[in-house]
Structure 1
Amino acid sequence: MKIDSHQHFWRYNPSSHAWIDSTMGVLKKDFLPEDLEPLLQNHELEGCVAVQADQSDAETDFLLKCAEEHPFIKGVVGWLDLCAEDIEEKLQLYSKNPLLKGLRHIVQDEPDDYFMLRPEFLRGISLLEKYGLTYDILIFPKHLSSALELVKLFPNQPFVVDHIAKPKINGKIEPCWEHYMNQLGQQDHVYCKASGMVTEAKWGKWSKSDFIPYLDVVFQSFGAERIMFGSDWPVCLLSAEYKQVNCILTQYLTKYPRESRKQVMGLTAEKFYKL
């Protein structure tokens, strides 16, 4: 199955989507399943994984409803407050829905760079395996050391690093980013999404070759069997059209054998999220 492992849906609301600032006018509207479906079909993708963009139970409910109504949405990565005292009760409730595949917290926006190592957050993460849920790690490079500590604490918990940890795509690979991506790649239960790169480059002024050194690091660190394609639609529209995002990876993959291409373009996501 060919899968887009990372995209979002929303009914635009300035308060709940406050992260969409004045430079992001293209995102200030509704993006719904019927908008994405033809894009998937045009690129011969059979389905997608919908990922939370707002931190609320209502967001998770909304995405699950979208998935229930649109069979091409194969799974949902939602949000629940992992630091809450009643997190296990919430997990018991939400995990009954087979379309919920995992959770994500927007760690990149937390003022505490060590948020992932807080006892209350670790307690929440410790419960995910019991309920068969994955965890998407959304961070900046400055959080990578904490991410490595986190994943080492839970060797049986499936993790995936979103957006290759969001390095600046400027032709200058930071040794620290490369080091920690390599270390994370050595953890067999950690995967990586080749996603979100175009918005870390100069918006609309990049070339495909700009991404090659970064993809080289990711593929050397994780291997094709633990990398999955994600468009990050509609956020990608700030810098590229869907077809351009897809082309960056499919063109890069031409040097890899057919089986590796199949893994990155769907089989890895299918395995990780149990689609």
Structure 2
Amino acid sequence: MKIDAHQHFWKFDPVRDAWIDDSMQIIRRDFLPQDLKPILNENNIDGCIAVQADQSETETDFLLDCATQNTFVKGVVGWLDLRTENVEERLAHYSKNTLFKGVRHIVQAEANDFMLGKDFQNGIGKLAPFNLTYDILIFPPQIEDAIALVNKFPNQKFVVDHIAKPYIKSGEIEEWKTKMTELAKAQNVFCKVSGMVTEADLKHWKISDFNPYLDVVFNAFGIDRILYGSDWPVCLLAAQYQEQLHIVQNYVKDFSKEEQSKVFGLNAVKFYNL
């Protein structure tokens, strides 16, 4: 089974989605399952994981509704407030739906010590009993906090979104490489090769720009802990679906069929319990 392990749906709201500014006109509209399905079909991808883009339970409910009505949406990474006192109750509520696979918080928009907060960590500690995953969305300066987090919760399954958003456009790599290699030592951490084109030069990237970063990730995490994700429709800021897919396909073209199957689906099935 081929899985796109990271994409988004939304009904565009200019107030709620203020992060989609005037420079992002191409994604200032609705993106719904009926828009993605033909694209997945064209690229021989069987299903996808819908990931939250807004920090509200309304968003989680919307994504679960999308998944319930569209069988190709194999799971949802939603949002709920991990810092709230009734976090266990909310997790129990959402876990009744088998399509609810995990939780994400947009930590990249938070202060650097956010993941070290007592309330947040209390919420992280409640996920494993419900067999739920956690998606880590961060910028490179936050990787050190991520290392502390994943080591504190060795029985929790984590996945790093967008290879932690290295500064591909400027070619910076060494500090990110050191920290990602350290993060990958924790065997409970996976990594999504996703969201890379939007960290590169949006209009002038080339496939070779990504290979040094992919080298780091594949060497650090190994073939069993890497998941392909498109980050559609955000990827459209820099590439069509097939273009961003080709970056990863090109990188693994000399890998065995079994190894390619892991990157493009089997690892996602394992990680998200699909």
TM-score by length of 2: 0.99
Cα distance in 2, alignment partners of residues 28 and 171 from structure 1: 27
CA contact (8 A) 1:171 1:210 kept: no
CA contact (8 A) 2:173 2:213 kept: no
Q: Does 1:25 align with 2:25?
A: yes
Cα distance in 2, alignment partners of residues 24 and 179 from structure 1: 32
5+ residue gaps in structure 1?
none
Cα distance in 2, alignment partners of residues 87 and 15 from structure 1: 27
The answer for the alignment partner of 2:271 in structure 1 is 272
Cα distance in 2, alignment partners of residues 211 and 142 from structure 1: 20
- Where does structure 1 differ by over 6 angstroms across 4 or more consecutive aligned residues? none
The answer for the alignment partner of 2:242 in structure 1 is 243
The answer for the alignment partner of 2:221 in structure 1 is 222
Q: Report the Cα offset of residue 255 of structure 1.
A: 2.1
Q: Does 1:102 align with 2:76?
A: no
- 1:136-195 Cα offsets, whole Å, 9 max, x none, are 000000000000000000000000000000001136343221011111111111000000
Q: How does 1:249-268 map to 2 (within 5 A)?
A: 249-268=248-267
The answer for the alignment partner of 2:211 in structure 1 is 212
Cα distance in 2, alignment partners of residues 125 and 173 from structure 1: 31
What RMSD in Å do the two structures reach over aligned CA positions? 0.8
Q: Which moved more, 1:88-97 or 1:56-65?
A: 88-97
The answer for the alignment partner of 2:44 in structure 1 is 44
The answer for the alignment partner of 1:2 in structure 2 is 2
The answer for the alignment partner of 2:56 in structure 1 is 56
Q: Report the Cα offset of residue 265 of structure 1.
A: 0.4
Cα distance in 1, alignment partners of residues 66 and 90 from structure 2: 20
Cα distance in 2, alignment partners of residues 39 and 224 from structure 1: 26
1:15 is matched by which residue type in structure 2? V
Q: Report the Cα offset of residue 24 of structure 1.
A: 0.7
Q: Count how many residue pairs are aligned between Structure 1 and Structure 2.
A: 274
Cα distance in 1, alignment partners of residues 235 and 72 from structure 2: 20
Work out the percentage of aligned pairs sharing the same amino acid. Answer: 55
1:170 is matched by which residue type in structure 2? K
Q: Report the Cα offset of residue 223 of structure 1.
A: 0.8
Q: How does 1:130-141 map to 2 (within 5 A)?
A: 130-141=129-140
The answer for the alignment partner of 1:16 in structure 2 is 16
2:60 is matched by which residue type in structure 1? T
- 1:26-61 Cα offsets, whole Å, 9 max, x none, are 111000000000110011100000000000000000
The answer for the alignment partner of 1:65 in structure 2 is 65
Q: Report the Cα offset of residue 199 of structure 1.
A: 0.2
Q: Which moved more, 1:34-43 or 1:178-187?
A: 178-187
The answer for the alignment partner of 2:187 in structure 1 is 188
1:75 is matched by which residue type in structure 2? G
